Amino acid sequence: MPETTPATETQVESTGPAAGAGASARRLLEVDDVTLRFGGVVALNEVSFHINEGEILGLIGPNGAGKTTCFNVMTGVYQPTSGGVRFQGEPLGRRKRHEITRLGIARTFQNIRLFSTMTALENVLVGADAHHTTGVGSAILRLPKHRREEKEGYERARELLKFMGLSKRANELARNLSYGDQRRLEIARALATNPTLLCLDEPAAGFNPAEKARLMELIRTIRDQGYTVLLIEHDMRLVMGVTDRIVVLEFGRKIAEGLPAEIRDNPAVIAAYLGVDENAS
Ligand SMILES: Nc1ncnc2c1ncn2[C@@H]1O[C@H](COP(=O)(O)OP(=O)(O)OP(=O)(O)O)[C@@H](O)[C@H]1O
């Protein structure tokens, strides 16, 4: 379990390509030739890529490119029409969402999905519950193992709130938090499931430049704590500034993969974002 240190108390070193981005890095997750059709819509079309252990991988592409669908396949929301996903070498197969959470993949959502009438602390505790091994019976009987897990869950939740700079908001209802704090709380809740891979779906949506800069620092800190991060984000400055590698989708197909500098100069990527035909004279 990666130990967390509060972001505010951590010296963040500038990131270059992470150790995890090297050729010899271990593959944490592999998307193998995944196709997913919704009726006539081919949301993912023979998509393959991998995520190395310890890296920050960006998944980008214009609206409707298939990024969120890709997250949904990786987290068991959708089953691919063909192809598959392997995590730590194991096929995810038809595993359910909670089983995939237990395996070590956590995610946040494009549209914030907190329990609005629960406190910040309670929201994080819900995430920590994903790993409790004791059942309802031992909870009712208040057996020692259950009490120990409950105590550890509280400690972990408080530690994560501190890590995300939310200690002072612990007892506030989620709906009363600022937008930025709600986004950070979503990340804390995802981390509470004790993931190996953290998938962030547009975490900077609605952020101002100062909040984006803080988020970049936070994502680097999260990686430096030992997590692997997959990031969907539309803000190119943020993506180019924080990722080790980038995969680009367009109309459900992978059109490019490489280092941020390579992606920035890739004609197919530029064409996809500008909406022009790169072959047009
Ligand atoms: N449940 C669904 N039923 C039918 N079509 C869907 C469904 N989910 C996604 N799609 C379609 O699949 C395609 C890919 O959508 P997806 O949301 O994955 O794109 P995206 O890259 O995440 O876009 P955005 O950046 O706008 O969030 C789109 O054409 C979308 O309309």
Is 199 in the same domain as 155? no
pLDDT for 143 equals 60
Say if 260 falls within a structural domain: yes
Whole-number pLDDT of residue 107: 93
Q: Are residues 96 and 222 in the same domain?
A: yes
- Position 164 in a domain: yes
> In the prediction, which pLDDT does 7 show?
43
- 124, part of any domain: yes
Q: What is the pLDDT of residues 228-273, one digit of tens each?
A: 999 999 899 999 999 999 999 999 999 999 999 999 999 999 998 8
Q: 204 CB under 6 A from ligand 1?
A: no
Out of 145, 161, 194, a domain closes at 194
Tell whether 202 and 263 lie within a shared domain.
yes
Asked whether residue 190 falls in the same domain as residue 210, the answer is no
79/206 same-domain check: yes
55 and 170 both lie in a single domain: no
Whether 11 shows a pLDDT value over 50: the answer reads no
62 lines ligand 1 (CB under 6 A): no
Assess whether 32 and 155 both reside in one domain: no
Distance 231 CA to ligand 1 centre (A): 17
Q: Which of 31, 35, 41, 75 is the best mutation target for the ligand 1 pocket, counting ligand atoms within 8 Å of the beta carbon and taking the most?
A: 41
Residue 3 within any structural domain of the chain = no
Q: Is residue 268 part of a domain?
A: yes
User: How does pLDDT run across 26-59, given as a tens digit for each residue?
Assistant: 999 999 999 999 998 999 999 999 999 999 999 9
Which whole-number Å values give the CA distances from 95 to 101, 105, 190, 196, in the listed order?
10, 12, 19, 17
Q: What is the pLDDT of residue 1?
A: 44
Residue 131: per-residue pLDDT: 56
Q: Please tell me the residue having the least CA distance from ligand 1 atom 13.
A: 43
- Closest ligand 1 atom to Cα of 110: 27
Kindly tell me if the per-residue pLDDT of 13 is higher than 50: no
Mutate to test the pocket of ligand 1, among 42, 59, 68, 234 (most ligand atoms within 8 A of CB): 68
Residue-wise over 38-57: b if at least 16 C-beta within 10 A, else e? eeeebbbbebebbbbbbbbb
CA-nearest of 150, 155, 158, 152 to 134 is 150
Name which residue sits closest to atom 1 of ligand 1, judged by CA: 38
Rounded mean pLDDT, 108-121:
88
Residue 235's domain is classified under what CATH number? 3.40.50.300
The per-residue pLDDT for 277 is 52
205 CB neighbour count, 10 Å cutoff: 15
Buried b / exposed e over 246-276, threshold 16 CB at 10 Å, is bbbbbebebbbbeebeebeebeebebbeeee
Ligand 1 pocket residue status of 38, Cβ below 6 Å: yes
| Ligand 1 centre distance from Cα of residue 273 (Å) | 17
Answer yes or no: do 73 and 202 share one domain.
yes
Cβ–ligand 1 distance for 68 under 6 Å, the answer yes
Res 113: pLDDT: 83
> How many percent of the chain have pLDDT more than 90?
69
Ligand 1 centroid–CA 247 distance in Å is 17
Ligand 1 midpoint to CA 58 (Å): 18
Q: Final residue of a domain: which of 194, 218, 247?
A: 194
Q: How confident is the model at residue 139 (pLDDT cuts 50, 70, 90)?
A: low
Cβ of 59 less than 6 Å from ligand 1? no
Both 165 and 276 in a single domain? no
- Quick check: CB of 194 below 6 Å from ligand 1? no
The answer to whether residue 4 is domain-embedded is: no
- Whether residue 1 is contained in a domain is answered as no
Q: Are residues 128 and 171 in the same domain?
A: yes
Burial class for 16, CB neighbours closer than 10 Å (0-12, 13-18, 19+): exposed
- The verdict on residue 16 lying in a domain is no
Is the domain of 231 the same as that of 166? no
Dist. CA 26 → ligand 1 center (Å) = 30
pLDDT digits 0-9 by tens, 70-100? 999 999 999 999 999 999 999 999 899 999 9
64: pLDDT strictly greater than 80: yes
Domain count, the chain: 2
Contact assessment for residue 115 and residue 124, using Cβ atoms and an 8 Å cutoff: no
pLDDT over 50 at 281, yes or no: no
Q: ipTM of this model?
A: 0.96
pLDDT in tens, 168-213: 999 999 999 999 999 999 999 999 999 999 999 999 988 999 999 9
Among residues 159, 194, 229, the one where a domain terminates is: 194
Domain boundaries, position 255 = 25-104+195-280
Looking at the fold, whether 48 and 62 belong to one and the same domain comes out as: yes
